[in-house]
Structure 1
Amino acid sequence: MSQELMIMLERAFEESTKLYKERGFQRRIGFGKHPALINVDLANAWTRPGNPFTCDKIDDEIIPGVQRLMKKFRAKGFPIVHVTTCYQNTDRNDPNTDMGQWHNKIPVDVVNQSDENLWAIDSRIAPIEGEFVLIKKRASSFSGTSLAGYLRSAGVDTILVTGVTASACVRTTLCDGLAEGFRTIAVKECIGDRVPGAVAWNLFDIDAKFADVETVDTCLDYLATAGQK
């Protein structure tokens, strides 16, 4: 992101913070007792070069941060959910496609279920035995899936969300997670996007309305004292 754009965003954040605070926004939801980690769309189509969905800062920020979180989650025995997106029928002319209408806005037709390499979780943060891999068809990881029920059955009250994109699948996952009654934490360094400024703006706005935006280090400090089920 250019310095000029960052300066403009900081000015916007400063003005917006005044308004939000005056009206009672930007409250803190805090961490609970039993967390789960939800990695949203950190699959090859989003993390590797050469795809329409490829996002920025994957190699130098997002993957290393997620690796640190996963190491602690595994050591503590807390649930990890790996979310990805793909479609069985990517024929845009077929009214029975499982893409719904989304293909009329974005190129979801490139993520065909028959090519597992596209929607497989990035090997650098690959699932291990016992970790839930969830395939979704919509932006939110909760919409039309079993995620909420899975988390409740595991006794989860807090979700730490990472992944892409800040403006779509991560944001809607956090919004729906809050609506489902979970404490929602957006992990700052582990959320990405394709568009300059999208991460900064969305994290600012998410922190005001739908989740607490916390650093990896703060999340690791929390995990060190969180009680296991």
Structure 2
Amino acid sequence: MSDHGNTVTDADGIAADYAKAGFGGALGWGSRPALLMIDMIEAYFRPGSPFCLPDPEVVDRCATLLEAARRAGILIVHTRVEYTPGLADGGVFVRKVPALGVLEAGHPDGLGEFVEPLRPQAGEVVVVKQYASAFFGTSVAATLVANGVDSVFVAGVSTSGCVRASATDAMQHGFIPKVVADACGDRNPAVHDANLFDLDAKYADVIDLDTACARMAFTD
């Protein structure tokens, strides 16, 4: 144990240490938000899938957030992962995570399809990606800029992977990221919590679902 006395379970001590060092400043709210709904596809929720998460209720919480965004009339961007047959466009990512092969186009299991309550509606943007971030190699940043967006609510899966990468890249592209903690999911609660802590310390404001929905209700 270090002299700081911080362990993985010493949440208060870790938070105090980070705050003392100058982490965790609040980014505040933008004036024109969008919703990034990250990879809410069958692969993360169908039993037997290598990516299946232990908390299927995240689907319902994301559905609540999505409905709030639709009522508010804000831009909605859905992402999903798909690889060309043979996985040539998966690069070293699919070598690192061979399970991604189930997201090859035409795979008989259909694990790349959106889960039923979160299927995009007409007018909502759908972006197909091959890597973790919604921004990497896609048109997401250009779409947000063209629509005058200055901030993004980020939700979906997984917290430690594509949500984290997308929120970090949102910040790096100049958008204020608001990660909706209870509308994100991961395969392990400790990993989920650790990544939310680190995002809130360095790259995003982490908020809850009620706060996100209330804020959307006041969007012009």
Match of 1:108 in 2: 100
Task: For 2:190, give the aligned amino acid.
Answer: G
**1:223 is matched with which residue?**
216
Give the conservation status (yes or no) of the 8 Å contact 1:127–1:133: yes
Cα distance in 2 between the residues matched to 1:75 and 1:128? 13
- 2:72 paired with 1:81: no
Partner residue, 2:200: 207
Deviation at 1:10, TM superposition (A): 4.1
Percent identity over the alignment is: 33
Match of 2:146 in 1: 153
Q: Does 1:71 align with 2:53?
A: no
Q: Is the 8 A contact 1:139 1:172 kept in 2?
A: yes
Q: What is the alpha-carbon distance in structure 2 between the residues aligned to residue 81 and residue 224 of structure 1?
A: 18
User: Once structures 1 and 2 are overlaid, which stretch shifts more, 103-112 or 77-86?
Assistant: 103-112
Q: Cα offset for 1:56?
A: 2.3
C-alpha distance after superposition, 1:118-138 (max 9, x if no partner): 211111111111111111011
Query: Under a length normalisation based on structure 2, what TM-score does the superposition of the two structures give?
Result: 0.92
Inter-partner Cα distance in structure 2 for 1:20 and 1:45 = 35
1:89–1:99 CA contact under 8 A, matched in 2:
no
2:78, 2:124 within 8 Å by CA — same for their partners in 1? Answer: yes
Question: Of 174, 177, 201, which aligns to 1:184?
Answer: 177
4+ aligned runs moved over 4 Å, structure 1: none
Is the contact made by 1:185 and 1:213 (CA closer than 8 Å) also made in structure 2? yes
Task: Extract unaligned runs of 5+ from structure 1.
Answer: 1-7, 92-96
Runs of 5+ consecutive residues of structure 2 not aligned to the other structure: 1-6
Q: Distance in 2 between matches of 1:124 and 1:10?
A: 36
Q: Distance in 1 between matches of 2:45 and 2:146?
A: 30
Code of the aligned partner of 1:110? V
TM-score of the superposed pair, with normalisation by structure 1: 0.88
Q: Which residue of 2 aligns with 1:171?
A: 164
Computed over aligned residues only, the root mean square deviation of the Cα atoms, in angstroms, reads 1.4
Counterpart for residue 35 of structure 1: 33
Aligned amino acid, residue 90 of structure 1:
G
Contact 2:154 / 2:167 at 8 angstroms: preserved in 1? Answer: yes
Alignment: residue pair count: 212
Kept in 2: contact 1:185–1:212 (CA 8 A):
yes
For 1:210, the aligned partner's letter is Y
- One-letter amino acid matched to 1:67: A
Q: Give the drift of 1:40.
A: 0.8
Distance 1:31 1:56, change over 3 A: farther
Does 2:131 correspond to 1:138?
yes
